[in-house]
């Protein structure tokens, strides 16, 4: 059994946490993140620590307990440090550029692929590396996955869009004739 829910969430300095009914609210400057718990867990705010407690003894209650604790911890980390993902573009003629609120990708198609940058995310392109930054872990990961899906890396030459820490296992090409 996981023990994620037992650990308290330590709130970083500069972040204000309050309870609005069954909704946890975290604020830092003009940024505000909300986590609606629907009354599935009990929440106690004690200074710089937030603790979660199970409501019942059912298996589903234990699942909600750990899930909401992890989601709130992700909100605190996002407001404090932020999240980042990096994508690498490999291939002859493959390019990327940020033009206002649009990421323009040239990935070997007969047309450019334009990706509208979601609200709350920031993208930078340096040479062949796209860096996505934001405070929402889910939004950063979703944007990275969508950009990667336009041209996933292929196993023969490694062309395409891949995460910088992703390892592409290469296949051998056709064997030469006898």
Q: Residue 107 has which token pair? A: 């990935």
Percent of the chain with pLDDT over 90: 87
Q: Is the pLDDT of residue 68 over 90?
A: yes
pTM of the model: 0.89
Q: What is the mean pLDDT of the chain?
A: 93
Write the pLDDT tens digit of every residue in 84-109: 999 999 999 999 999 999 999 999 99
Q: Is the pLDDT of residue 166 over 80?
A: yes
Same fold, 4-80 and 83-163: yes
Pick the CATH number of 83-163 from 3.20.20.150, 3.90.930.12, 3.40.50.2000, 3.90.79.10: 3.90.930.12
C-alpha to C-alpha distance for 51 and 7, rounded to whole angstroms: 7
Q: Where are the domains of the chain?
A: 4-80, 83-163
What value does the CA radius of gyration of the chain take, rounded to a whole number of Å?
Answer: 21
Q: Is the pLDDT of residue 178 over 90?
A: no
Integer CA distances (angstroms), 123 to 31, 47, 117, 153, in order: 19, 35, 8, 21
C-alpha to C-alpha distance for 90 and 87, rounded to whole angstroms: 10
Pick the CATH number of 4-80 from 3.40.50.2000, 3.40.640.10, 3.40.50.720, 3.90.930.12: 3.90.930.12
């Amino acid at each position: 059994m996981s023990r994620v829910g037992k650990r308290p969430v330590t709130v970083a300095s500069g972040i204000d946490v309050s309870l609005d009914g069954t909704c946890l609210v975290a604020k830092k400057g003009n940024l505000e993140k909300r986590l609606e718990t629907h009354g599935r867990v009990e929440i106690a705010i004690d200074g710089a620590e937030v603790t979660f407690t199970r409501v019942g003894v059912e298996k589903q209650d234990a699942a909600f307990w750990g899930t909401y604790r992890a989601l709130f911890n992700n909100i605190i980390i996002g407001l404090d440090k932020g999240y980042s993902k990096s994508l690498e573009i490999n291939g002859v003629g493959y390019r990327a550029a940020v033009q206002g609120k649009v990421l323009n990708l040239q990935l070997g198609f007969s047309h450019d692929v334009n990706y509208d940058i979601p609200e709350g995310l920031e993208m930078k392109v340096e040479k062949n590396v796209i860096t996505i930054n934001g405070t929402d872990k889910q939004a950063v990961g979703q944007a990275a996955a969508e950009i990667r899906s336009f041209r996933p890396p292929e196993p023969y030459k490694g062309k395409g869009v891949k995460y910088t820490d992703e390892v592409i296992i290469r296949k051998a090409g056709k064997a030469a004739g006898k």
